[in-house]
Chains A and B, each alone.
Chain A
Amino acid sequence: MERLKPPAAGREFVLTQADGTLVFSQQGDKDAEDLAAHVTQVYRIAAATLARAGLGALRRGIVQATTETTFFRSNDRLILALTFPQDVKIGFGLLETDKMWTNSLRELGVRA
């Protein structure tokens, strides 16, 4: 997992399987498990909502809170979440998330 170093501005990074199994995280064990559980839960509900709205499979997400912005990327098996301070430029966040996503897939030997 050498290539999975988040950008300097990134606060949190977590990679999980769609079933909630933690693949990689920067945080300590307990924090990482809690974060992975939340990310997986958001992914599941968002995917179900998009399907119900007839929009297809979930690919990306951006969640903005008062002091942080979290970017999601996902496919049928993996979910990546990368958190930045709230004032991050959306384009920068998307670009860094895409880089982390590509590196994660490469590390895991998964085709995009």
Chain B
Amino acid sequence: MSAEPVPPGQPVAGTAPLAAASRSSRAREFRRILAEMLRIDRVRGGLVVAADGLVITSSVPRNIAIEPLAALTATLGRELEAGGDRLKRSTFHTALFSADDGTLFLGACPVGFVVVLGDREVNVGLVQWALRKALATLEGTWGARDQVPATPEEM
């Protein structure tokens, strides 16, 4: 006896609860990673965005509009990835951009980008290290694991 084909978009019987559990566990993992970044002194906020700019999870000060920031960070990440391809460079991993009043950290992960906002006194080396650790955790779940030094000083 052969099973009836399942139309596209329809859940296969018995797999829906598992898929939902997996999504829920991934969502928890994103929130946990972001919460760890937010514990670093002088970090003001952070978000995880999909490559198309959709916000996966976020925590930013009330005066910052999340959606436009997510769209811009995803655009920035995509330009760093696409520009690297155009110029025949290697794969983009992380970036930081410092301004008069703080620093924005950006890391590429299998689902999109992790973004951290620090004020002007933030410990740049510590955030870079923590970000790489977070990216390695995400890559461990979704893909290849990145090399992370044992301490910020070794970066």
Q: Is B94 in the interface zone, CB < 8 Å from A?
A: yes
Secondary structure type dominating chain B contacts: mixed
**Which B residues touch A86, using CB under 8 A?**
90
Complex-state Cα separation, A45 to B75, whole angstroms: 7
The 0/1 profile, CB within 8 Å of A marked 1, for residues 80-118 of chain B is 100110110111111111111111100000000000010
Whether B94 and A34, one on each chain, are in contact in the complex, defined by CB atoms closer than 8 angstroms, is no
**Which A residues touch B86, using CB under 8 A?**
34, 38
Whether B76 and A52, one on each chain, are in contact in the complex, defined by CB atoms closer than 8 angstroms, is no
Closest to B92 in A: A65
Given the known inter-chain contacts A34-B86, A65-B90, please indicate yes or no for A57 contacting B100, CB distance below 8 A.
yes
Query: How many chain-A residues does the 8 Å CB contact rule pick out?
Result: 30
Q: Give the contacts of B101-138 with A (CB-CB under 8 A).
A: 101-104, 117, 125
Closest to A61 in B: B97
**Which A residues touch B98, using CB under 8 A?**
58-61
Secondary structure type dominating chain A contacts: mixed
Complex-state Cα separation, A46 to B115, whole angstroms: 12
Whether A66 and B93, one on each chain, are in contact in the complex, defined by CB atoms closer than 8 angstroms, is yes
Q: How many pairs of A and B residues are in contact by the CB < 8 Å rule?
A: 99
Given the known inter-chain contacts A34-B86, A56-B102, please indicate yes or no for A90 contacting B155, CB distance below 8 A.
yes
**Which A residues touch B83, using CB under 8 A?**
38, 41-42
Complex-state Cα separation, A60 to B103, whole angstroms: 9
Q: From B95, B101, B125, give the contact of A55 (CB < 8 A).
A: B101
Complex-state Cα separation, A53 to B87, whole angstroms: 29
Whether B97 and A35, one on each chain, are in contact in the complex, defined by CB atoms closer than 8 angstroms, is no
Whether A54 and B87, one on each chain, are in contact in the complex, defined by CB atoms closer than 8 angstroms, is no
Q: Is B27 in the interface zone, CB < 8 Å from A?
A: no
Whether B72 and A45, one on each chain, are in contact in the complex, defined by CB atoms closer than 8 angstroms, is yes
Q: Is B69 in the interface zone, CB < 8 Å from A?
A: yes
Binding site for B on A (CB under 8 A): 34-35, 38, 41-42, 45-46, 48-50, 52-68, 72, 86, 90
Binding site for A on B (CB under 8 A): 60-61, 63-65, 68-69, 72-73, 75-76, 79-80, 83-84, 86-87, 89-104, 117, 125, 155
6 closest pairs, A vs B, by CB?
Answer: A56-B100, A66-B90, A55-B102, A38-B83, A67-B90, A56-B101
